[in-house]
């Protein structure tokens, strides 16, 4: 990508004055490279008085140069995917005062020999380059030099072309609007020169000294002058190149065919090509790819071998590929969003109907899985995840209240498969275990009572002696096999809660004939002596249904493990 600085005024032609100029405290080097070795050398070069910026493409390089007008540039020829000479011409056109260095090998140096000679390339850096060598070149770039010159100054010659040379100088760098005025003046100057030096005209006589040194000059033909006039008008209106014969470049070239010695036609052709290239580059910079491509194609028909055109075509191709990639990515993103919205809409519909987990292929959970597979990180999917988990846990709680622990467990497992760390999962799992144990105990007791009712009474002589209360109490059963009438939550120890300590206490105790709890002992705990007192205090307040054997209430020894979880208690 390229851009142009504003046209410079007369002040730009003033010579450098050391008394009015001060070297900046910090020099800046902007480098375009992807070479790891050169990258390391540039990083070592960076110090307090040298700031190094490393970029990866021409767009970033021109952006940096626009921000730092006094910087020196270094381009690694291997980092370009277009001819290096085209890149040099493009950069020099945009930034005529830039000190440009090229890094490469012998082949690139040979290719750039003419540009090195005319200082379009300030220095050629052979790879691999050391930080010390780079600093020497950077120091040289910081020293003022004479303005660039492509040819030695020629002795002034009085001829009909001298006014045209001055016009060429005035035209260079001016805007097309200014050129409209200059074009009229150019025609007048051409006509005056032709009249002054036309054979037989007395006004064309010069001094003997001038005649001895001036080369013979042939005025442009009338046909060439007419074409040049049309070309000037086309140039002033901005029609630099085209393929219909009406553009400035085509008309100047036609004038050259009429008069091959016409310098104004040659320079006009070069200027039209230059402005067309600038217009194409500015269109590319502004994102008008169609305009840039059209100008590039018209330039190809007129000047196919132009090095800047080859570089421009490469930049257009890269920008077009980037635009196409952006369009494809946007279309793919829109398609994903449509899939996500459709799946989440189906999920919401199943939730309203209460079909959270059934049927398996058309439930709220299955449609959420579809949306999650398309875009797990999408904000709508994350929000739907929380909504669905909350609905599943609420449904599990309702199932527990209805004493249906198997259905509640399925709801909990579905929520866990979506987010295994969702709050409330552990609490509901414990409640499922408790309700399941209570239902099992009630079922066992009902079965025992039914069996006892169905048995015939045993003869008195054969009746077995009842077990003693001591024997019954010595049998230790799991506490969850007994029916709890009243349960008390333990008071979490303050120190353990403060330190977020979790653990458990295992106890043995006796359920007396009236259902009260006595004779509590701690058999095991983790961590030890942390939750013992709180667990025993809570257990003392439990009340169980009396244990019935042979139709009589008997004491029963039982075992329980009480858990303490800090996070849930908070």
Phi, psi (degrees; rounded to nearest 5) at 165: -65, -40
For the chain, give the percent of residues with pLDDT over 90: 43
555 closest CA partner among 519, 523, 522, 521: 519
Can you name the residues that pair with 32 across neighbouring β-strands? 55, 75
Q: Please name the residues in contact with 520: beta carbons below 8 A apart, sequence gap of 6 or more.
A: 507, 508, 509, 536, 539, 540
Q: Is the pLDDT of residue 161 over 80?
A: no
**DSSP state at residue 50:** E
Dihedral of alpha carbons 106, 108, 114, 116, sign = negative
Paired tokens of 499:
């330190």
Q: Strand 503-511 relative to strand 556-564: parallel, antiparallel, unpaired? A: antiparallel
554 by DSSP, 3-state: which? strand
pTM listed for this prediction: 0.40
Residue extent(s) of CATH 3.30.2420.10 domains in the chain? 470-569
Could you tell me if residue 424 is left (phi over 0), alpha (psi between -120 and 50 degrees) or otherwise beta?
A: left
pLDDT at residue number 111: 86
Q: What is the DSSP string of 475-499?
A: SEEEGGGSPEEE--PPPPPHHHHHT
Q: Is the pLDDT of residue 399 over 80?
A: yes
pLDDT tens for each residue of 53-99: 999 888 889 888 988 888 899 999 999 887 888 889 888 888 888 99
CATH classification code of 470-569: 3.30.2420.10
- Mean pLDDT for 523-544 is 92
Can you name the residues that pair with 123 across neighbouring β-strands? 101
pLDDT tens for each residue of 145-160: 555 544 443 334 334 3
State the pLDDT confidence band at 292, using cuts at 50, 70 and 90. very high
pLDDT tens for each residue of 213-270: 333 444 568 889 999 999 999 999 999 999 898 999 999 999 999 988 889 999 999 9
Residue extent(s) of CATH 3.40.50.2300 domains in the chain? 24-142
Buried residues in 347-382 as b, exposed as e (16+ CB within 10 A) = bbebbeeebbbeeeeebbbbbbeebbebbeebeebe
* Least confident among 191-195, 353-357, 401-405, 428-432: 191-195
CA distance 14 to 33: 34
CATH class of this structure's domain 24-142: alpha beta
pLDDT tens for each residue of 175-193: 444 444 445 444 444 444 4
Average pLDDT value for the chain: 80
CA distance 37 to 516: 84
């Amino acid at each position: 990508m390229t851009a142009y600085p504003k046209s410079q005024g007369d002040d730009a032609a003033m010579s450098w004055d050391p008394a009015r100029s001060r070297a900046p405290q910090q020099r800046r080097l902007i480098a375009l490279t992807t070479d790891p070795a050169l990258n390391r050398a540039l990083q070592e070069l960076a110090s307090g008085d040298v700031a190094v910026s490393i970029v990866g493409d021409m767009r970033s390089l021109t952006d940096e140069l626009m921000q730092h007008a006094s910087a020196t540039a270094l381009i690694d020829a291997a980092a370009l995917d277009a001819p290096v000479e085209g890149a040099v011409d493009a950069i020099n056109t945009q930034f005529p005062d830039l000190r440009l260095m090229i890094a490469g090998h012998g082949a690139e140096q040979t290719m750039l020999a003419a540009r090195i000679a005319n200082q379009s390339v300030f220095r050629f850096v052979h790879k691999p380059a050391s930080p010390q060598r780079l600093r020497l070149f950077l120091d040289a770039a910081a020293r003022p030099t004479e303005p660039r010159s492509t040819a030695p100054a020629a002795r002034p010659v009085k001829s009909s072309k001298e006014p045209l040379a001055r016009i060429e100088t005035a035209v260079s760098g001016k805007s097309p609007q200014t050129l409209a005025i200059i074009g009229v003046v150019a025609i007048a100057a051409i006509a005056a020169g032709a009249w002054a030096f036309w054979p037989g005209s007395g006004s064309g006589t010069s001094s003997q000294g001038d005649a001895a040194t001036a080369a013979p000059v042939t005025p442009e033909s009338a046909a060439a002058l007419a074409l040049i006039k049309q070309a000037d008008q086309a140039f002033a209106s901005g029609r630099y190149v085209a393929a219909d014969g009406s553009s400035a470049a085509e008309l100047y070239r036609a004038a050259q065919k009429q008069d091959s010695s016409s310098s104004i036609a040659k320079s006009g052709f070069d200027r039209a090509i230059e402005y067309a290239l600038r217009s194409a580059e500015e269109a590319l910079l502004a994102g008008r790819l169609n305009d840039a491509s059209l100008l590039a194609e018209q330039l190809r028909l007129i000047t196919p071998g132009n090095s800047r055109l080859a570089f421009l075509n490469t930049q257009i191709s890269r920008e077009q590929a980037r635009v196409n990639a952006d369009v494809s990515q946007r279309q793919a993103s829109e398609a994903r969003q449509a899939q996500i919205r459709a799946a989440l809409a189906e999920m919401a519909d199943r939730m309203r109907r209460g079909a959270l987990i059934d049927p398996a292929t058309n439930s709220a959970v299955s449609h959420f899985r579809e949306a999650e597979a398309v875009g797990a990180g999408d904000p709508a999917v994350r929000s739907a995840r929380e909504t669905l988990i909350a609905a599943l846990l609420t449904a599990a709680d309702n199932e527990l209240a209805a004493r249906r622990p198997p259905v509640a467990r399925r709801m909990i497992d579905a929520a866990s498969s979506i987010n295994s760390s969702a709050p409330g999962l552990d609490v509901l799992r414990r409640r499922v275990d408790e309700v399941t144990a209570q239902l099992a105990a009630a079922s066992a007791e009902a079965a025992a009572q039914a069996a006892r009712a169905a048995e015939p009474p045993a003869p008195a002589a054969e009746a077995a002696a009842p077990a003693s209360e001591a024997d019954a109490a010595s049998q230790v059963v799991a506490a969850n096999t007994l029916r709890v009438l009243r349960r008390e939550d333990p008071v979490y120890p303050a120190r353990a809660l403060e330190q977020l300590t979790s653990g458990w206490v295992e106890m043995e105790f006796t359920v007396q004939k009236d259902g009260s709890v006595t004779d509590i002992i701690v058999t095991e705990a983790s961590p030890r002596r942390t939750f013992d007192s709180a667990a025993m205090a809570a257990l003392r307040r439990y009340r169980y249904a009396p244990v019935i054997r042979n139709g009589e209430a008997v004491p029963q020894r039982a075992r329980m493990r009480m858990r303490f979880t800090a996070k849930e208690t908070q």
